[in-house]
Amino acid sequence: MNVIKDDTETKIQCGKIISVRGSVVDVNFDNNLPPIYTLLRSGKNKQVSIEVLSQLDDHTVRGIALNPTQGLARGMVVQTDGKKLTVPVGKNILGRMFDVFGNTIDHLDPLPEGERRNIHQSPPPLSKRAVKSEIFETGIKAIDVLVPLERGGKAGLFGGAGVGKTVLLTEMIHNMVGKNKGVSMFCGIGERSREGNELYNAMKDADLLKDMVMLFGQMNEPPGARFRVGHAALTMAEYFRDDEHRDVLLLIDNIFRFIQAGMEVSGLMGQMPSRLGYQPTMGTELSELEERIAYTDAGSITSIQAVYVPADDLTDPAAVHTFSHLSASIALSRKKASEGLYPSIDLLQSNSKMATPGIIGQKHYDLAQKIRATLAQYEELKDIISMLGMEQLSVQDRNVVNRARRIERFLTQPFFATEQFSGIKGKQVSLKDALDGCERILADEFKDYPESAFYMIGSIDEIKKKEVKKDEKSPVKKETEKEK
């Protein structure tokens, strides 16, 4: 082993590369192997960073490269100062965009020197965790009424490609940063570079960057970078929670890509795959990340995570493992999206453990149950309607169908995030207004208004502002004629 000292008296340990296979690099050290998670540097100007993931024998470590490994060759010198991967923390990171190493990637002035922290931190102990449950209002009707989120909890957005996960996350950032005085963090794991660029510009135009931090490990980066960017984002979020006692909203897009990166790393490291090709350590790796998201006596990190569901199959191991960590699950439906009902939330598939009388109150709970029952009845009647038409239904069933269709349309909402595409001004609706609207629809107060009047409005009183003329024929008769 060669040990050299640099100007700051840090001991630098040297080794030699003995093999490079894609992102996996094996390095030989004479003795004193570097510990797991130590960062090694090699290549021209030491630009390739390698994180040690296993010690193969007394002289060899195997690591995963966090940069592309072009230019590395056998026999090249590898140096390490014994430190792990660190990222900057502090107030000066607000409004900036970073990569997994904590380097700024927004083409602005370099970040001034400041405190850096190791990305591998332990979750907060149980003694420091808060035991009370609080609701986290989003300003989105469908979520606040039927799937209330928990402050300091984890909510999952489940859906296949193209059903609106990223748009819903962007809308939540807009509503949270504008309304709460907390910090918003966006962590892009394995997503498209175009989406990161669009989000950055959208946040800049909306003047929301000043209370926001962005981290990206994009899909064109090696699996090692995508695998570690979530830990880097949590380290920054923990600073604002523990040191500044602020509430943090952490948005992760997409947690499935974290699992996928772990699967790639596991395969490259030579581990035997488990069910459906996933890594055998998937449960542990996901827990290491998720358990750091918590509500402590200092503050809270509330996380909303987009979860890509492979082939829309909710029994996929990635979706199942993610479910076990969540306090709320918001399932997005392709069928709803195709009908133009945005946000395309499947209200019967989505659920929240916060929806109990003790937390949201008896009145809200009863109303939510009544809405679910109405929508479930409508779902059962759909087959009869498609085969025999509305006229075969009893008067009672027709009323159920009319209420359900109005509720479905009332729970659509124009988003600030889509103003430029839809031309409809975005709206944020308070929980009180959302509950009031649902209650009045279920009481048949608006049964003479056409269904279209309920589509893409904010509070229920906007129906009257639309100056919609009441139809001479009842909606049931109109529906019957349509079926004929």
User: What digits encode the pLDDT tens for the residues 293-352?
Assistant: 999 988 899 999 988 888 888 889 998 999 889 999 999 999 999 999 999 999 999 999
Q: Is the pLDDT of residue 423 over 60?
A: yes
Beta-carbon-side half-sphere exposure of residue 96 (alpha carbons within 13 Å): 22
Active-site residues, by number, are 165, 191-192
Confidence (pLDDT) at 470: 47
Give the residue among 155, 87, 151 at the shortest CA–CA distance from 300. 151
Q: Is the pLDDT of residue 31 over 90?
A: no
DSSP string computed for 128-195: GB-----EE--S-HHHHHHSPEETT-EEEEEE-TTSSHHHHHHHHHHHHHHHSSSEEEEEEES--HHH
CA distance 259 to 238: 22
DSSP string computed for 360-386: H-HHHHHHHHHHHHHHHHHHHHHHHHH
CA distance 206 to 202: 6
Tokens of 121: 């931190």
Confidence (pLDDT) at 16: 95
Q: Is the pLDDT of residue 6 over 50?
A: no
Q: Is the pLDDT of residue 66 over 90?
A: yes
Q: Is the pLDDT of residue 123 over 90?
A: yes
Reported pTM = 0.84
Tokens of 479: 């529906």
Confidence (pLDDT) at 474: 46
Segment 52-67 shows an average pLDDT of: 94
